[in-house]
Amino acid sequence: MGTGTAGAAGTAAGPGSVVASCSDVAACGGNVIGTWTVGSSCLAVSGNLDVSGFGLGCTSMPVTGSLQVTGTWTANSDGTYSDNTSTSGNQQITVPAVCLNVSGTTTTCDRIGGPLSGLGYASINCTNAAGGGCTCAADLQQTGGIGLASADPQTSGNYSTADNVVTVDSAQYSYCVSGDQMTWSPRSTGAITTGTIVLQKAGTGAVSGSAGSEGTPVVGGIVGAAGSPGSVGSGGASAGGAAGAPATPPSTGTGPGPCDLYAAGGTPCAAAYSPVRLLSSTYGGPLYQVRKGGSNTGTGGTLLDIGVVAGTGFGDGAAQDAFCGADTCTVSRLYDQSGRGNDLTVAPAGCYVGNDPNNPDSASRPDVESNAKGRSLMVGGHKVYALYTNVGEGYRNNAPTGMPMDVAPQGVYMVADGKRYGGACCWDFGNASKDNCYGTTGIMDALFLGTGYWGRGAGNGPWFMADFEGGVWAGGSGANNAVNNNLPTSNQDYAFGLLKTTSTNYAIRVGNAQSGGLTTAYDGMTPKTLRRNGAIILGIGGDNSNHSLGTFFEGAITAGRPSDETDAAVLQNVQAQGYGI
């Protein structure tokens, strides 16, 4: 048993004795390197909330409220930072009636709160307002993104300082360092945040030292460190920690894949994609392609195909690392593993006008390629990369071959990150129109993951649902806003979802890509006759509604509706790969 050192005595003055001004700081710059603890804050929010990334019928909503900040923020000498702050507060949001128009349909006040929670709100309650629209009371609870409400707050990244402004990723703060105290004021647009955050440098205030107490005993030098479950031959307990899980040998990723299982079941893959691994034993090409330099709109730079590591079926993450280095890299192509050559590249603009039709700047634009470095992970002991899509990013093929057409049956499966999802339209994978547009006669058959403005399942989401255009269904053959309590939340690290359709019937089945079986959430009549148009989409809606986000690991579209037995075999195949190990 190790022995901790005695705690240092704190000084009399600490950050808690400093009261933040509710007016912006007089910026003076200074050295930000070090760890800083928030002593106090006073931040007011007013103006217009930017909702341009939500695919609504408006770009902004009036908002008022206040924010408080606690925690620590660290600036390293190499230009990186870590953000261990929490930003919280209460806000009031006014939703004009025009905002309720979404991709050709109209949502309601009780539906719009869920997607808006993607801005970082822990809870939001929207009620009908007199004269139309909604009034929403929102409670913000956010980790990272110090002092600025964000749909995707970051807890680490890069920072820089210049002209009395510290830039943290893309967020900017006026600042002034005076001795061991640093004061920030957010520089925001739209919803204006005014006031200050006062921070004290670690080791200088009461917060930095405890009053001469004996140190906390340390067992074995590491407090309760558990044995690594993925270490071959370990399987025991680490010093002073909990017993480690039995060692799991790395998977080779070779052998039959989902496309082999689908073919054996009489429903062959029409398209199959994964930057993580091989999905077919007969496919011998690369998994994806990266672009270094050039434009993320899909031009220029240097291209490299990323295949599998020799002797395995897993993507060569090391090859991507060596090629990209510190440079910017994007995913320029996802190769189709079905043998049909239905590769996916960055999606063109669609007919959906994302916000205000009277504002030319709101018109749909072409998508951009996703950051190839956005998400790495371990699968079967191998480092690989996922397709990490943000708002405005998506992939499409409008001229594929062998896709289910018109009333032909279809199946779709997908493995995605259930902890990273959007609340807008539409993070889909499946069959869509070839003209980047939408309609009401059924020209879409795609698997959706997120929350959205329409149907919902049990819990808080996200949910795998069916996007049939003109709405997203959680089940049932009626209105697209129906609640299906048989559809569980899919918030696993590696969520598994299935959508199986004929022209008049569909089934939604969900599971966990790491363990367990499948839950059939719905298997019954469709809300309308499905007539497929044959294009392939990933990360967007059929009309290029690209306001959502997600992380894609693997998936396939089949010609024909697979049997339940084939579904189970595919899930078991996925689980055997060792996602997260």
Domain shared by 298 and 159, yes or no: no
CA-wise closest residue to 563 among 507, 525, 513, 515: 507
Residue 351, pLDDT score: 83
pLDDT per position as a tens digit, 197-256 = 999 998 755 433 333 333 333 223 222 333 333 332 323 333 333 333 334 456 778 789
Q: Is 214 a catalytic residue?
A: no
pLDDT per position as a tens digit, 401-460: 999 999 999 999 999 999 999 888 899 999 999 999 876 556 899 999 999 888 899 998
* Residue 226: inside a domain: no
The better pLDDT of the pair 481, 164 is held by: 164
Whether 1 maps to a domain, the answer reads no
Distance of alpha carbon 461 from the chain centroid: 13
Q: Is 122 exposed, middle or buried (0-12, 13-18, 19+ CB in 10 A)?
A: exposed
The answer on 134 and 20 residing in a single domain is yes
The partner residues of 290 in beta bridges, in order of sequence, read 304, 331
Q: In the chain, pLDDT over 90 holds for what percent of residues?
A: 68
d(CA 241, CA 522): 44
Domain with 133 in it: 15-204
Residue 15 in this model has a pLDDT that exceeds 70: no
Q: Note whether 390 and 272 are same-domain residues.
A: yes
How many separate domains does the chain show? Answer: 2
pLDDT band at 104 (very low <50, low <70, confident <90, very high): low
Over residues 138-165, the mean pLDDT reads: 90
Rounded to the nearest 10 degrees, how much is the dihedral formed by the CA atoms of 290, 296, 297, 303? -30
Average pLDDT over residues 82-92: 94
Indicate the residue among 204, 236, 271 that finishes a domain.
204
Closest CA to 288 of 367, 384, 420: 384
In this structure, what CATH number is given to the domain that contains residue 562? 2.60.120.200
Q: Catalytic residue, from 316, 336, 417, 543: name it.
A: 543
Q: Which residue has the higher pLDDT, 562 or 222?
A: 562
Residue at 246 is within a domain: no
Q: Is pLDDT at 395 greater than 60 in this prediction?
A: yes
> Can 469 be counted among the known catalytic residues?
yes
pLDDT-wise least confident of 63-67, 121-125, 393-397, 550-554: 121-125
Percentages (nearest 5) of helix, strand, coil residues in the chain? 10, 40, 50
Omega of the bond leading into 351 within 30 degrees of 0 (cis): no
Any residues with CB less than 8 A from the CB of 179 and at least 6 apart, and which? none
pLDDT at 108 over 90: no
pLDDT score for 233: 31
Do 187 and 302 fall within a single domain? no
Q: From CA 469, how far away is CA 477, in angstroms rounded?
A: 14
Q: pLDDT tens, 340-381?
A: 999 999 999 988 765 444 444 445 689 999 999 999 999 999
Domain boundary among 179, 204, 229: 204
Confidence of residue 10 (pLDDT cuts 50, 70, 90): very low
Together in a domain, 165 and 287: no
Question: Is the bond into 246 cis (omega within 30 degrees of 0)?
Answer: no
Asked if residue 493 and residue 384 are part of one domain, the reply reads yes
Contact 147, 41 (CB under 8 A): yes
Judge whether 285 lies within some domain. yes
Catalytic: which of 469, 554, 564, 565?
A: 469
The predicted pLDDT at position 11 comes to 29
- Give me the chain's average pLDDT, please: 86
pLDDT greater than 70 at residue 13: no
> Mind listing the pLDDT tens digit for each residue in 503-521?
999 999 999 999 999 999 9
* pLDDT at residue 230, as a whole number: 33
| 9 to 4, 71, 72, 209: CA distances (angstroms) | 15, 21, 20, 5
**Could you write out the DSSP letters of every residue in 509-577?**
EEEESSS---EEEEEEE-SS---B--EEEESS-TT------EEEEEEEEEES---HHHHHHHHHHHHTT
Query: Would you say residue 107 has pLDDT above 60?
Result: yes
Task: Please measure the distance between the N-terminal and C-terminal CA atoms of the chain and give it in whole angstroms.
Answer: 30
581 in any annotated domain: no
H helical segments located in 152-307: 258-264
473 and 331, same structural domain? Answer: yes
High-pLDDT (> 70) share of the chain, %: 85
